[in-house]
Structure 1
Amino acid sequence: MYDASLNESAYVYHMLQWPFAKSIFETGRLRLSPVRSWDDPYEKWWCDTLVGRKSSLSGIQAYGLCWTLGKYDEPRWRMAGFRRNEPIVRIRCQLRAILDAGRSLIGGQAGTLYLGKVRYRGEKRLLEAATAVNSGSAKEVTRTAASMLLHKRNAFRFESEIRLLWLDRQPVQDAFFIEIDPAAVISQIMTSPYASQNEHLEIKAFVEKYGIESKMSAILRAPGVEPRRNENQRP
C-alpha cells in the first residue's frame, strides 16, 4: 500500500547514530524493527491494543522504520541525540527510491509492505477506532492493521512522520530487512550540528566513497562563520 497523498519525488529523512547508519552501507540493508520493541511506551501499548491476543488482528507481526518530512527543525537533532554517545546523522532518501527497493520484495516474501503518512488524532478517537476494529471481523486484516499503525496521538503531530511498515504472520524476528543499493537509495548524509568537526570529517570521508553528498548541519552556525576544525559542540 502506498499513500496516494504522498509525492514520490519528495524527500524524507531518518536520524540515527552513525554506527547504525554506517552498517546500512556495509550490509546494503534497511532495518525495520518490531513495533513492540520501540522505546516509546505509547507505541508498544498501541501495537498491543491492535494486534494483541484479544484483537481480531492477532497473529500479525509488525515491523517499522520511521521517517519525517521535516528538515529544518533544530529540536529534532537534540531529540535524536538524547542519551546517545555516538554522533547523529540524518539520512535523506527520495520516496520513489524507497518504494523501488520495497517493490523488489513482491513475490519473494510472504507479507505486505506499506508506506504511508501518519495521521494524528485525539486519544479518545484512537481508542474508539481500536475498539471498533477489535469488536468486528476485519476482511482485509493486514490493510486494517497497517492503517491503524499509521495513527498517533495529536501530541506527536510535530513529527510530520512517514512510516514504512512490513506486516506478516511469520514467527517474530529481531528485525526485518530490505535489501538496497545505498548509492541508489540514499542521496545525502547530514551530520548533527552537535557533532565535532573531526567526527563529521570522518563520516564525510566514508560516505563520499559511495558518491553520496555529505554535509554538516549549519543550523547553529552564524552566517559567514566557519566551524573550528577541532570544535566539539555535543551537549
Structure 2
Amino acid sequence: MIIDQSHPISWTPIERGADGRKVMRDPALTKPFLYHMLEWRYAKLIFETNRLRLSPVRCWQDPYERWWCDGLFNRPGPLSGFQPYGSCWTTGAHDEPRWRMAGFGPDKETPIVRIRCRADAMVNAARSLIKSSAGSAFLGRVQYRGERTLLHLAKSVADGSKKEVTRMAATMLLHKRLAFKFEDEVRLLWLDKKPLREGVYIDIEAKTFVEQVMITPHTTPTETANIKQEMKSFGVPCLASGVLLPPR
C-alpha cells in the first residue's frame, strides 16, 4: 500500500465476509460521538425511511473533492473501476462557526440541524450492509497534509499494489489539504465496482442510531418549535443550540 509512512492508517478489521467484503475501522478514531450537520428536510427523511445515505464522492460539490477523486479513480491504475461513496461527520461539537458554514447558501430550504450518533453504531450499520451488498466499508479520521504531499500520494497510487486495493482507496479518501484541518472530519466510506448510482443506502433503526438532534441557533423561534414538535413522533431528544445565548 502506497501511503506516507509518517502518518499511516493502521486499519483494524471489524468483520470480513464473502467475495472480499469487509468493514474496517481506523483505531485512531477514539472519540465515542460523531456529528453530522444537514438540512432538517434531509434529517427528517432519515427518520421517515430508516436509511442513511452515502453519496457518490464523484458528485460532491466541493471542487477540491472532485479534483482529488478524479486523480485517484479516473485514470489507469489499481483504483480504476471502483466507485466511492461517503458520508462526512465530525468530532467537533462546540464550535459556532460550523453552524454558519453549514447553514447559509442559496440552496437551503429548511434550517440546519445536527444529528449525533455513536461511532460504534455506525460500524454496526456498515456490518449489516456487507451482508447484503458486495463491497467494503471504512470508518476513519481524515488526515490533513500539505498540497505537495497530496500530489505525491495521488501520483504514487498508479504504481501501487493490487492487493488490499480498497484499503488503499479508503486511505487516500481520508486525506485533505491542511486548510481544512479545523473540520476534524470523520468519514464513513463505501467502495464497490457496481455502476455509479445516486447513493448507497444503509438500513438503520433511526430512533436508536441517532441519539440526539440539535437545531441551529440561526433560526426563528417558530421554526425551532415546529422541528421540536415533529421530532416528538420519532422519540429522539431534540434541543435548540444555546451557543449564542448570553452567559447566565
Fold match by TM threshold 0.5:
yes
Answer yes or no: is 1:24 the counterpart of 2:55. no
| Structure 2 letter corresponding to 1:207 | M
| Structure 1 letter corresponding to 2:37 | M
Name the counterpart of 2:58.
36
1:208 to 213, 232, 241: 232
Aligned-residue offset at 1:98: 1.1
2:82 to 60, 63, 79: 60
Name the counterpart of 1:230.
none
Aligned-residue offset at 1:201: 1.2
Aligned-residue offset at 1:202: 1.1
CA distance in 1, matches of 2:112, 2:28: 30
Name the counterpart of 1:160.
184
SS in 2 for 1:135: coil
SS in 1 for 2:194: coil
Residue pair 1:138, 1:144 contacting (<8 A) in 2 also: no
RMSD: 1.2
Name the counterpart of 1:184.
208
Per-residue deviation, residues 15-52 of structure 1 (Å, max 9, x unmatched): 00100010001110011100011110000010110111
Name the counterpart of 1:227.
none
CA distance in 1, matches of 2:27, 2:104: 34
Answer yes or no: is 1:13 the counterpart of 2:35. yes
Name the counterpart of 2:195.
171
CA distance in 2, matches of 1:123, 1:179: 37
| Gaps in structure 1 of 5+ consecutive residues | 225-235
Per-residue deviation, residues 39-93 of structure 1 (Å, max 9, x unmatched): 1000001011011133331100000000000011111001101212320000011
CA distance in 2, matches of 1:213, 1:185: 12
Per-residue deviation, residues 83-128 of structure 1 (Å, max 9, x unmatched): 1232000001111111111111123110001100001110100111
Name the counterpart of 1:92.
116
CA distance in 2, matches of 1:44, 1:55: 18
CA distance in 1, matches of 2:243, 2:132: 43
1:135 to 138, 142, 159: 159
Name the counterpart of 1:3.
26
Residue pair 1:2, 1:115 contacting (<8 A) in 2 also: yes
| Worse-superposed segment, 215-224 or 34-43 | 215-224
CA distance in 1, matches of 2:123, 2:161: 30
Number of aligned positions between the proteins: 223
Structure 1 segments (4+ residues) deviating >6 Å? none
Name the counterpart of 2:133.
109
| Gaps in structure 2 of 5+ consecutive residues | 1-23
Answer yes or no: is 1:71 the counterpart of 2:129. no
Residue pair 1:49, 1:55 contacting (<8 A) in 2 also: no
| Worse-superposed segment, 60-69 or 125-134 | 125-134
Answer yes or no: is 1:218 the counterpart of 2:242. yes
Aligned-residue offset at 1:133: 1.1
Name the counterpart of 2:7.
none
| Structure 2 letter corresponding to 1:78 | R
CA distance in 1, matches of 2:224, 2:102: 16
CA distance in 2, matches of 1:40, 1:106: 28
Q: Percent identity?
A: 53
Residue pair 1:53, 1:59 contacting (<8 A) in 2 also: no
